[in-house]
Amino acid sequence: MNIYEDYTKYILDNKTLLDALQANVPAVYVLVEDVIVVLDFIVGEIKKNSKVEEELQDFFVAGYNYLTSIINEMKIMYVDYFKSDIELFAKYSQLIVYFFYIDDLKGHLDASDKLTKENKDLIDEIQLEIERKLVRCEEIDSSRIDYYENIIEQLDADKSYHPIYTIYAMVREELHLY
């Protein structure tokens, strides 16, 4: 099985969750939607031409790695934290999005050599706090959301960060996949 077949099987294996997110939790589904559309396009091109440009291959590998990571984590949240209750999952969608956004920002800072020990510790603390709230299904305090926003702004002071899902939205647009 090659990576493109593996991807197709992975998406099929997670179709129930993805369909539930798309129908009920669009704020979370947006984190994967454009990545899936772009990867599906690349798989289609491979089936038609058996070859794609190297740049698209790179986008495929990065996107597939992103998807497996985020979908596996979503599955844990959905099944273990929220006992497969899509309404409860939706109630916590804002925190779920922050959890993934902050994780992605951490990866960006690390890749661009801007992740100091202090920033890493701060991000880890925020992620742990969010995860604790999700596991315990605790109420969301708007002052904490404001705090997360402020921290994100401070960590991305030069505005160089673009979340992975927005990069794939730009690729989707460039490929005219709307």
3-state secondary structure the chain: CCHHHHHHHHHHHCHHHHHHHHHHCHHHHHHHHHHHHHHHHHHHHHHHHCCCCHHHHHHHHHHHHHHHHHHHHHHHHHHHHCCCCHHHHHHCHHHHHHHHHHHHHHHHHHHCCCCCHHHHHHHHHHHHHHHHHHHHCCCCCHHHHHHHHHHHHHHCCCCCCCCHHHHHHHHHHHCCCC
Per domain, the residue ranges of the chain are 3-174
Is pLDDT at 140 greater than 90 in this prediction?
no
pLDDT at 124: 96
**pLDDT, the chain, mean:** 94
Mean pLDDT of 58-64: 96
* Segment among 58-67, 77-86, 121-130, 156-165 with least mean pLDDT: 156-165
Q: pLDDT band at 119, cuts 50/70/90?
A: very high
Question: With a threshold of 0.85, does the pTM exceed it?
Answer: yes
pLDDT at 145: 92
pLDDT at 32: 98
pLDDT at 178: 82
Q: pLDDT band at 157, cuts 50/70/90?
A: confident
